[in-house]
C-alpha cells in the first residue's frame, strides 16, 4: 500500500507536477503533444490539491487493477519481460519493482531476461518468448530504432506488447493506432526532465552561477545513449530552460557517457582538466553519471554549491542523499514505481481483453534541497 501511495505523497510534497497520468491505464489517449515540455513550469501551489486528487484517483485505479487481477484473471498467463541491460542503476529499480508488482496483481509465470545492451541478443530473446507462447510481452528495447521490426514480429505472432522506458518514434506509435494493434508505450516525457534540470539551475540566478563573471552560464553536458530520446531531449531541454529563463549559455563540452558512472567520472575528469574553473555547471542526463561526475569534481578540488553546480535525473537514493547534504545541486525523480505499475497493469489489461491506450504517461518531479528529504522518505 505504501508504494501505491507514493505518488500521492510526492504530489503533496512538491507543487512541480504536470498533467496527472501516472499509474493509470486511462492516462493519455494520444501520443504526447510536442509542445508539452515547452509548457514545463512548476504548477502554482493552488493547483497542488487538484493534482493530488488526480494522483489519488490514479492510485485507486491501480488498486482496482490489483483487485481485478486477484480475482484470477491473469493467473497462469505467461509474461515475458525484456530489459535492455540489467547493468543499469535505474532499470534495476524499475525491473525489481515491475517483478514484485506483476506478482502482486496476480501474475504467476514471469520471465525477465537481460539484453546485455545488444539488440541481436534481445531479438533472439523475443524469438524465444514467441516460440514459448507467452501471453504478453513487456519490452525495454536496446535500440528504439528497432521498434518497428520488434512490433511486426510480436504483433505477427498475435502477442500484445507493452514498450517501456525507451520510447519508439512518433511514426512507429502512429502505426499501432492506425492498425488498431495491441501495442502501447509506458513512460515519461523526457522533455519534462530536461526542462526541470535547467530550471533547477536557472532558479539559482545568474549571480550565483556566474563564478567566472563572463555573464554566461558555462556548462558541460554528459549525455546518455544518444540513440535514446531521453538523452536527446534532456540535453536539448535543460539548455532551453536556461535560455527561456533569459540566461545566456556557453557549452564548453558535450560528451557521451552512455548512462554509466565510470564513463561519467572519466569524461568529467577530462573536461575539468581541459576547462578548469571555466566550468560552472555539469549537466548529466542521469544520476549514475552524476555520481561519477561528483567523484571527479571532488578530485579536482572543486565544491558543488560553492564553485560549481551538478544536476542529474532519476533520484537514485544515493543522489537524493547527496542533494540533502548539498554535494549534488539537484535531480529529477524518474518515477520507476508509477511506470512499472502502469506497465504491469497494461499487460494485465491486454491479457484480460480490456485493451489499453496507445500512450500511458507519467510525470517527473523536480528534486532540490527543499523537498529531497520528503522524496527520500517516500522512497523508503
Ligand atoms: C532513463 C534513465 C537512465 C537509464 C535509461 C535507460 O530514463 O534516466 O538512467 O536508465 O533510462 O534507457
The C-alpha cell 563572463 sits at: 214
Average pLDDT over residues 214-218: 98
Residue pLDDT, tens place only, 28-48: 333 333 333 333 333 433 333
Please report the pLDDT score of residue 51 as a whole number.
Answer: 36
Helix (H) or strand (E) run with residue 149 in it: helix 147-156
Could you tell me if the CB of 313 is within 6 A of ligand 1? yes
Grid cell for residue 229:
530520446
Instruction: Assess whether pLDDT exceeds 90 at residue 249.
Output: yes
Any ligand 1 atom below 6 A from CB of 333: no
- Given ligand 1 and candidates 83, 90, 263, which is best to mutate, with the most ligand atoms within 8 Å of its CB? 90
Q: Which residues of 313-338 are buried (b: 16+ CB within 10 A; e: fewer)?
A: bbbbeebbebbeeebbbbbbbbbbbb
Distance CA 237, CA 166 (A): 17
**What spacing in Å lies between the alpha carbon of 89 and ligand 1's midpoint?**
8
Please tell me the distance between residue 251's alpha carbon and the centre of ligand 1 in angstroms: 23
The pairing of strands 161-164 and 331-333 is unpaired
DSSP, collapsed to helix, strand or coil, labels residue 204 as coil
pLDDT value, residue 320: 98
Determine the pLDDT at residue 163.
Answer: 98
CA–CA gap between residue 146 and residue 75 (Å, rounded): 31
- In this structure, what DSSP letter does residue 350 have? H
Neighbours of 15 (CB within 10 A): 18
Q: Tens digit of pLDDT for each residue in 84-130?
A: 999 999 999 999 999 999 999 999 999 999 999 999 999 999 999 99
Q: Are 287 and 259 in contact (CB under 8 A)?
A: no
pLDDT of residue 202: 98
Specify the pLDDT at position 45.
37
CB contact at 8 A, 160 and 185: no
pTM for this prediction: 0.85
SS3 label, residue 120: helix
Which triple of cell numbers denotes residue 173? 506509435
336 lines ligand 1 (CB under 6 A): no
Ligand 1 pocket test: pick from 82, 88, 343 the residue with the most ligand atoms within 8 Å of its Cβ: 88
- Rounded-to-integer distance, Cα 208 and Cα 211, Å: 7
Place of cell 482496482: 64
Model pLDDT for residues 174-208, shown as the tens digit of each residue: 999 999 999 999 999 999 999 999 999 999 999 99
The grid cell for 264 is 561519467
Mean pLDDT for 342-347 is: 98
- Answer whether 228 contacts ligand 1 (Cβ < 6 A): yes
Rounded mean pLDDT of 159-174?
Answer: 97
Cell readout for 323 is: 542533494
Q: Is 17 in the pocket of ligand 1 (CB under 6 A)?
A: no
Rounded to 5 degrees, φ, ψ at 236 are -70, -50
pLDDT exceeds 90 at position 70: no
**Which residue is closest in CA terms to ligand 1's atom 10?**
90
57 vs 52: CA distance, rounded Å? 9
Per cent of the chain over pLDDT 90 is 80
Which atom of ligand 1 is nearest to 188's Cα? 7
Pairwise CA distance, residues 278 & 276, whole Å: 5
Q: Which three cell numbers stand for residue 369?
A: 534541497
* CA 200/CA 198 separation, integer angstroms: 5
Rounded to 10°, the helix 372-379/6-13 angle is 170
Contact at 8 Å (CB) between 257 and 292?
A: yes
pLDDT for res 72:
54
d(CA 82, CA 356): 20
Residue 286 contacts residue 257 (beta carbons within 8 Å): no
CB of 230 within 6 A of ligand 1: the answer is: yes
Question: For ligand 1, what atom is nearest to the CA of residue 314?
Answer: 8
Give the number of the atom of ligand 1 that is nearest the alpha carbon of residue 313: 8
Asked whether residue 215 carries a pLDDT value surpassing 90, the answer given is yes
pLDDT of residue 380: 83
Binding site membership of 91 for ligand 1 (Cβ less than 6 Å) = yes
- Higher pLDDT among residues 1 and 339, named by residue: 339
Do the bridges between strand 281-284 and strand 309-311 make them parallel or antiparallel, or are there none, so unpaired? parallel
User: Could you tell me how many residues make up the chain?
Assistant: 380
Taking the centre of ligand 1 as the mean of its atom positions, its distance from the CA of residue 259, in whole angstroms, is 7
Average pLDDT over residues 200-221: 98
- Measured from the Cβ of residue 257, the count of other Cβ atoms closer than 10 Å reads 27
Average of per-residue pLDDT values in the chain: 86
β-bridge mates for residue 94, sequence order: none
d(CA 377, CA 5): 12
Q: Which tops the pLDDT comparison, 32 or 248?
A: 248
Give yes or no for residue 314 CB within 6 A of ligand 1: yes
- Eight-class DSSP state of 144: G
* Ligand 1 centroid from CA 166, angstroms: 8
Amino acid at each position: 500500500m505504501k508504494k501505491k501511495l507514493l505518488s500521492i505523497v510526492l504530489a503533496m510534497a512538491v507543487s512541480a507536477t504536470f498533467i496527472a497520468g501516472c499509474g493509470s491505464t486511462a492516462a493519455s489517449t494520444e501520443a504526447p503533444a510536442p509542445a508539452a515540455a515547452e509548457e514545463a513550469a512548476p504548477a502554482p501551489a493552488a493547483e497542488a490539491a487538484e493534482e493530488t486528487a488526480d494522483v489519488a484517483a490514479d492510485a485507486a485505479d491501480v488498486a482496482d487493477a490489483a483487485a481485478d487481477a486477484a480475482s484470477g484473471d491473469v493467473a497462469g498467463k505467461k509474461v515475458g519481460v525484456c530489459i535492455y541491460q540489467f547493468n543499469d542503476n535505474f532499470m534495476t529499480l524499475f525491473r525489481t519493482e515491475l517483478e514484485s508488482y506483476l506478482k502482486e496483481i496476480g501474475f504467476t509465470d514471469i520471465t525477465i531476461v537481460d539484453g546485455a545492451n545488444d539488440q541481436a541478443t534481445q531479438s533472439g530473446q523475443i524469438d524465444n518468448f514467441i516460440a514459448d507462447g507467452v501471453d504478453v510481452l513487456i519490452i525495454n528495447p536496446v535500440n528504439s530504432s528497432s521498434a518497428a521490426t520488434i512490433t511486426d514480429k510480436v504483433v505477427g505472432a498475435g502477442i500484445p506488447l507493452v514498450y517501456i522506458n525507451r520510447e519508439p518514434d512518433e511514426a512507429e506509435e502512429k502505426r499501432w493506432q492506425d492498425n488498431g494493434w495491441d501495442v502501447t508505450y509506458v513512460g515519461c516525457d523526457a522533455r519534462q526532465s530536461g526542462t526541470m534540470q535547467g530550471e533547477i539551475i536557472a532558479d539559482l540566478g545568474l549571480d550565483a552561477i556566474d563564478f567566472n563573471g563572463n555573464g554566461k552560464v558555462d556548462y558541460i553536458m554528459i549525455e546518455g545513449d544518444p540513440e535514446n530520446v531521453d538523452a536527446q531531449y534532456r540535453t536539448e531541454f535543460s539548455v532551453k530552460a536556461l535560455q527561456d529563463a533569459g540566461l545566456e549559455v556557453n557549452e564548453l563540452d558535450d560528451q557521451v557517457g552512455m548512462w554509466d558512472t565510470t564513463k561519467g567520472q572519466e569524461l568529467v575528469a577530462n573536461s575539468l582538466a581541459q576547462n578548469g574553473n571555466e566550468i560552472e555547471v555539469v549537466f548529466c542526463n542521469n544520476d549514475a553519471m552524476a555520481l561519477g561526475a561528483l567523484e571527479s569534481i571532488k578530485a579536482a578540488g572543486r565544491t558543488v554549491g560553492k564553485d560549481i553546480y551538478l544536476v542529474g535525473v532519476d533520484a537514485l537514493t544515493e543522489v537524493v542523499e547527496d542533494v540533502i547534504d548539498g554535494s549534488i545541486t539537484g535531480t529529477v525523480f524518474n518515477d520507476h514505481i508509477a511506470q512499472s505499475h502502469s506497465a504491469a497493469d497494461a499487460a494485465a489489461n491486454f491479457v484480460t481483453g480490456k485493451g489499453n491506450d496507445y500512450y500511458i504517461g507519467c510525470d517527473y518531479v523536480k528534486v532540490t534541497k527543499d523537498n529531497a528529504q520528503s522524496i527520500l522518505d517516500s522512497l523508503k
